[in-house]
Structures are given as C-alpha cells and as structure tokens.
Amino acid sequence: MSSKLRWALPVALVGVVGAACLLLWQSHASARVHMNYAHLNTIQKRIVSETLATALGPQPKGAQPHITGPISGDGRGPDSAPFTRPRWSGSQSGATSTINYFPSYQGNCPASLGNDVKVNQNCLNLSDPDLQGYAQANNNPSIAVDPFNPWHLVASDTNYVRGDSTCGSYFSLDGGRTWSDVGPEISLFPTWTEMYGASNPHRLSDGRLLWAVIGTVGRDVEWQSGVTFSDANGDGFTSPVLIGAAADRNFADTDLVRLRDGRFLAVMREMITRQSHQSWSSDEGRTWTPIRPTGFRGSNTKLFPLRSGAVLCAYRDEDPARRGVSLSLTEDGGETWRFAGQLYAAPADARHLPGSVCGYPDIVSLGSGEIAAVVHSYPGPDGRMSIQFLRLRDRS
C-alpha cells in the first residue's frame, strides 16, 4: 500500500465521522425548534384539525387549552377577520386539570350569540365539500344535566374533527357558561358510534349510568341499536348490549324511559322499513326482549313520562301523508300506542330531502305540570329552518 493511500484512508474516515457528528448536532438543534401555527401555510391553517390545533397551539404556563382555530402571524383568524383571543381559567370546582372556555369572537366564527354559548370549540365546523368532504362538521348534538348537581352538564355530538363520524363529548362544571374541550373518542361499534339517546343518561340502582347508543358495522351500513353502561361519572363505557340488530336492517335513533313498574322501554327507528320498533328490559338494561313494531313510523325518537304514568313519544313522522313532528301515547307501558297529535305540522310542499328534514324533538318538565318542547322545522321558501319552542300542560 502506498504512503498516499495510507494517509488518505484515515483522513476519509475522519471526514465521515465529522460529517456524522455535524449531522447529529444539526438534528438536535432542529429538534429544539417548536412547531406551531406560524409554520403552517394558508391551506393548512384552513383545514387544521382540532387535535392538531391542540398540539400546535400557543404554550401558556400550566395546562394547555385548545384555542378555537389557528392563530396566524398577522393576528387574523382563519376566516381572514380580526381575531380576539379567548380567555381561559381552571374549573370552579377546584380541579386544576380542567380548562374551560370563555366565549369570544374569532373572525366570522362567533363563539356565542347573545346568551347562546358554543359547546364544541372547533371554529371550522362547517364542511367545504370541494376541499374537505365531511370536514370538521359537528352534528347530532345531545345534552344532559346531572340530576344530583344542576351545575354539571355533559354534551355529546357526532364529531368529524378526528376522522369519519367519531363520537365527541364535552362537560361543563358551571351550568353551561364554559365548556371543556372535546374528550377522548368514544368508540363502541366497528365503524361509527353515536351516543344517541335524547333522554341520556339514566341512573341505575347501583349508581352506574345507562346510555342509549347506536353505531354501524360498516360505513353508514348495518346500523345497530343498544345500550352501554358507565360509572357514576360517565367514564368507562362498556361494550354495547344490542337491542336492535340485523344484517338487512338499520336500527338507529333510540331513546329509553323507565316505566312505573321499574322496567326500561326502548323505542328506536328502523331506516329501511321506516317502522319504529320497541323493546323492554326488566333487569336495568342487561337483557332486552325481542323487538316488535310500535305501529307508528318515526325518526329522532324522544320518550317523555307524564304524571299519570303514561308515556309520550315525539318523533319526526315518516308517514308521507303526515309530515312534521308527531306524538304517540301509550298508557300501558308500550303494549299499545295511539296517535296524539303533532307538535309541528309541516306544510304540504315541505322538502323531505337528506339534510333538509325537520325533527329532533326534545321535551323537559318545568314543574307543576308544565312541559317545554323544542323542534326544528323544514326549510322555508328562503331555505332557512326555524327552531320552535312550545309550552304545554300535562293534564293526564
């Protein structure tokens, strides 16, 4: 081996080692650079998900809240209007881990409208079909009050922020004035899960909670209806106990009510035959009787017990001759039902099309025999729907 070669090899090795050290040094230096919204381009800021927003948001001292939408370097919101930073604080219950949201105005995406407070904290909750498909839509909402503490509320929705139709949950510890960010995904069915139950939850004799739940085997196919159990705080959902399930049917929109004799009655929608079905449980939801038709055709089911022990069922009427939100009444625990009128009678020219249907009724007791009900209408000639409030009297 020549002397030149003997000198060249060590020098080459030193160069390789030096380059590797330089590369490692540069990698560690790059790792110290904090990735945030300033590194995103305009399109990325437009479609950033809530999960990514949480990870890339500003880093205040202490717990990291999710600010509704990306903050651009020019101080403008994602819709190119002035951005007002929301305020945050810990929960009033003393728990330092809870970060609550105070309404503010972010560009053209108001977080509150008058006294109405926005629950989901993702600003971009409307779809851009050309860009995003379902995008970050939030729909099928539900809300419930802790019967032992009226300041504690839980809400849920079908949340597309984290993917295709996931189930999101939120909670408030101050009567709905402020809300937590979306909680961990609730996934109980193979594809989609919806905590659909207008009367959820139901407290059981052992303190646990019973929830109506629906979901799918495939993407929007083979819908199934059932119940799930959680602890008293709404944590630890169990695998669903199925009530309505069949390969050639789609069972959905389920609600539960406890009857005077202690049994639970479940009424659910079936999307193919459009016939409502029902089932009973005499062991607090652990097992259910075979389903059978109710005799009416309903979607968006809401069950409400009257003072007499009779039960009202409000639903979007799927009978083409009777569009609107109808009521059926049972006075024998669901054995028989009779038509009891309509909360909302749709006009003859109502457009009964996907995305343009009425329904989603809810009913609550105001005490002393007074009842409050809400429904939403079909679109009018201008394309707008209305939310209608009704005050009723229980004379049963």
CB 224, CB 215: distance < 8 Å: yes
Distance between CA atoms of residues 225 and 167, nearest Å = 15
pLDDT at site 288: 98
pLDDT tens for each residue of 16-34:
444 334 333 334 444 445 6
pLDDT at site 258: 98
Distance between CA atoms of residues 51 and 47, nearest Å = 12
Could you tell me the residue ranges of all domains in the chain?
Answer: 187-293
Q: Which of 318, 348, 334 is nearest to 326 (CA)?
A: 318
pLDDT at site 272: 95
The structure tokens 């609600």 sit at 255
168: which strand partners?
A: 157
How many CB atoms within 10 Å of residue 3?
Answer: 7
Angle at 18 between CA 16 and CA 24, to 5 degrees: 105
pLDDT at site 250: 97
pLDDT less than 50: residues of the chain: 1-32, 46-47, 49-51, 59-107, 129, 131, 133
Look up residue 325 and give its two tokens: 């939100």
The structure tokens 């669903």 sit at 240
pLDDT at site 156: 80
**Surface-to-core class of residue 168, CB atoms within 10 Å of its CB (0-12 exposed, 13-18 middle, 19+ buried):** buried
pLDDT tens for each residue of 186-225:
889 999 898 888 998 999 999 999 999 999 999 889 999 9
CB 184, CB 193: distance < 8 Å: no
Tell if the pTM clears 0.85, that is, is over it: no
